[in-house]
């Protein structure tokens, strides 16, 4: 068995509030299949706390509960030490970005500056070879990440990537089915820019299904 693939995600509040179910599944499904590290910045906890009390967000409340419980269950779920923010000067952040963006970044609210400090620390300043990616569903956060050259992806993109890693059996069964269709096909053509395989009815191939009983009225 070869080395496991590694994914390192920085989670903002929007990814946890809106995608808690996905993230719980990642923690469960990736065990033994993928090395998954999740980093929770101070910004994320503070935003979730704000959403829980001020907006009465059920998702934020459940996300905080999950983080509290998961830190003991999943060693690779890392909650940022508040002292980390003191280690990164704002001037270090602005020194790493294009000069034309500095004024816009300086005008950001403190909470966004803290998130960027966390991201810059993990992505550019921390002394280790790990590559971190910010997962966010917030357009403002994504825009700020781009200004600071912090790699980011959507929840859907992260979910899709991990699904390919953890559902290898399902992936290979799908590939096997596609190869079988091509083998038994009578010809190929292009329709609407897509390749189409023609088959004969008597040789129709069906995707494998699990066992079950027929429904009877």
3-state secondary structure 30-56: CCCCEEEEEEECHHHHHHHHHHHHHCC
CATH class of 5-166: alpha beta
Q: In degrees, to the nearest 5, what angle opens at C-alpha 116 toward C-alphas 112 and 118?
A: 115
39 with 11: CB under 8 angstroms?
A: yes
Q: Which residues contact 122 (CB under 8 A, 6 or more apart)?
A: 8, 10, 39, 130, 132
Coil, strand or helix at 176: helix
Distance (Å, rounded) from C-alpha 133 to C-alpha 124?
11
Coil, strand or helix at 70: helix
**pLDDT tens, 36-51?**
999 999 999 999 999 9
**pLDDT tens, 135-180?**
999 999 999 999 999 999 999 999 999 999 988 555 555 556 556 6
Coil, strand or helix at 150: coil
Distance (Å, rounded) from C-alpha 126 to C-alpha 64?
26
Can you read off the two tokens belonging to residue 56? Answer: 């009465």
**pLDDT tens, 166-215?**
885 555 555 565 566 566 555 554 555 555 555 554 444 444 444 554 45
**pTM of structure:** 0.77
Of 119, 121, 166, 141, the closest CA to residue 9 belongs to 119
Q: What local confidence, expressed as pLDDT, does residue 167 receive?
A: 83
Distance (Å, rounded) from C-alpha 45 to C-alpha 26?
20
- How do the domains of the chain map onto residue ranges? 5-166, 168-201
């Amino acid at each position: 068995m070869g080395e496991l693939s590694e994914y390192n995600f920085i989670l903002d509040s929007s990814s946890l509030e809106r995608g808690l179910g996905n993230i719980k599944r990642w923690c469960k499904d990736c065990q033994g299949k993928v090395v998954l590290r999740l980093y929770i910045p101070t910004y994320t906890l503070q935003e979730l706390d704000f959403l829980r009390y001020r907006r009465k967000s059920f998702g934020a409340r459940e996300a905080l509960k999950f983080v509290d419980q998961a830190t003991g269950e999943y060693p690779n779920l890392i909650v940022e030490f508040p002292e980390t923010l003191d280690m990164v000067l704002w001037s270090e952040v602005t020194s790493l970005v294009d000069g034309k963006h500095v004024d816009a970044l300086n005008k950001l609210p403190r909470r966004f500056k803290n998130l960027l400090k966390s991201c810059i620390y993990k992505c550019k300043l921390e002394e280790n070879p790990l590559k971190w990616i910010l997962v966010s569903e917030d357009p403002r956060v994504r825009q700020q990440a781009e200004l600071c050259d912090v790699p980011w992806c959507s929840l859907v993109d992260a979910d899709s990537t991990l699904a390919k890693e953890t559902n290898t059996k399902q992936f290979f069964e799908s590939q096997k089915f596609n190869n079988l269709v091509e083998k038994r096909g009578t010809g190929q053509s292009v329709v609407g820019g897509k390749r189409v395989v023609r088959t004969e009815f008597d040789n129709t191939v069906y995707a494998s299904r699990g066992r079950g009983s027929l429904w009877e009225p």
